Amino acid sequence: MSILEADSINLSFGPRKILSNVYLQCKRGDVVGIIGRNGSGKSSLMKLIFGTLRGENQSIRVNRQYVDQLYKKPEMINYLPQDSFLMNYLTVKQVSRIFDAEQIVNIEILKPHINNRIGELSGGLKKLIEIFTMLYMQSKFVLLDEPFSFLSPVFVEEVSTHIKLQSRKKGIMLTDHQYQSVWGVANKYYILYDGILREIYQLDELEQYGYLSNKS
pLDDT at residue 213 in the model: 59
Q: How many helices (H) and strands (E) does the chain have?
A: 4, 10
Task: Report yes or no on whether pTM surpasses 0.85.
Answer: yes
Q: How far apart are CA 102 and CA 93, in angstroms?
A: 8
Residue boundaries of the structural domains of the chain: 3-209
Question: What does the pLDDT read at residue 209?
Answer: 85
Strands 188-193 and 141-144, by their bridges, are: unpaired
- Provide the CATH number for the domain formed by 3-209 in this structure: 3.40.50.300
Q: How distant, in Å, are the alpha carbons of 1, 11, 12, 54, 143 from that of 17?
A: 34, 6, 4, 14, 23
| Average pLDDT for runs of 10 along the chain of length 216 | 93 92 96 94 96 90 92 95 95 97 97 97 97 97 96 96 97 93 94 94 88 58
Q: Give the pLDDT of residue 210.
A: 81
Full DSSP string of 166-210: HTTTSEEEEEESSSTTTTTT-SEEEEEETTEEEEE-SGGGGGGGT
What local confidence, expressed as pLDDT, does residue 68 receive? 87
What gap in Å lies between CA 196 and CA 191, rounded to an integer?
Answer: 8
Supply the pLDDT for residue 215. 46
pLDDT of residue 181: 87
Asked whether the beta carbons of 56 and 10 are under 8 A apart, the reply is yes
First-to-last alpha carbon distance for the chain, in angstroms, is 36
